[in-house]
Amino acid sequence: MFWPITLLGALIGWLIASIPGALLGALLGQGVDRRFGLNSWAKLRDRVLGNKALMQGDELLFFLLGRLAKSGGRISEAHIQTARREMQRLQLSSTAQRAAIDAFYRGKSSGDGLREPLQRLKGRHDTAKAVLQACWRMARAQGQIDARQHELIMLWGKWMGWDAAAIVALDPSGGRRQGAPSNLGGAYEQALRLLGVRADSEPQAIKRAYRRLLSKHHPDKQAGAGATTQQVREATERTRELHNAYTLIRERRGFR
């Protein structure tokens, strides 16, 4: 009863063996491309390397700008207009603009893998300066900078080898004079308190605390327990705060 299947398998094996290696590779490659949506070398590179594939030049800059725009919870029209002005400032070609837009929207969904590419800018004073100035402009897109955005820029500047005073001096709006938060620099401490961990806690302990609180406050769990609409909204906001706090701590400490 197994003979037909065995014969079919032998036939397929014979056909594969008769196909030249390059053609077989192309056929298999096409199947993989269709399965994973990899229709270009760039997409293959991004799938293999993740965000690090974007971590250079203008793409790195717009990745950072997307990260800043999303850090407050949502991207506004003011953020988009600021990104467009940066493209005009850099006089990007249409192809470079498409790459910048892609980097911007990838940056809004992830903040991993930034330390290494930013550290490569140490010693490249003019490039780092231009990046930080653009970051300040994006943070000021809606007029008032929040503690989270300030913390990110300070952290990125530190990775690029700048001291705190030099980073703040690049803010074109003059720091506190135009709506900077009163608790600048305290976002990291607030994040630690929110998760109930210390600055010297082990990464695994921080992860456990985050997951425990996330499970406790998750809106789906609250809804399943009979929570009101208002309570579900509050749980959703709490979950967002927990995620932002964990992301900030992870970036500051350098673990995944």
At residue 41, the pLDDT reads 38
pLDDT one-digit tens code per residue, 98-132: 999 999 988 877 656 788 899 999 989 999 999 99
At residue 57, the pLDDT reads 85
At residue 173, the pLDDT reads 67
Neighbouring residues of 68: CB distance < 8 A, sequence distance ≥ 6: 135, 138, 139, 149, 152, 153
CA 175, chain centre distance (Å): 25
Q: How far apart are CA 5 and CA 3, in angstroms?
A: 6
Residues in the chain where the model's pLDDT stays below 50: 1-12, 14-16, 19, 21-54, 175-185
**Number of other CB atoms surrounding residue 18 within 10 Å:** 8
At residue 45, the pLDDT reads 42
- Residues 73, 102, 106, 123, CA torsion sign: negative
Q: In degrees, to the nearest 5, what angle opens at C-alpha 132 toward C-alphas 130 and 138?
A: 105
At residue 60, the pLDDT reads 92
At residue 144, the pLDDT reads 78
* 187-253 is a CATH 2.40.160 domain: no
Domain boundaries defined on the chain: 50-178, 187-253
Q: Which amino acid is at 256?
A: R
At residue 256, the pLDDT reads 74
Neighbouring residues of 207: CB distance < 8 A, sequence distance ≥ 6: none
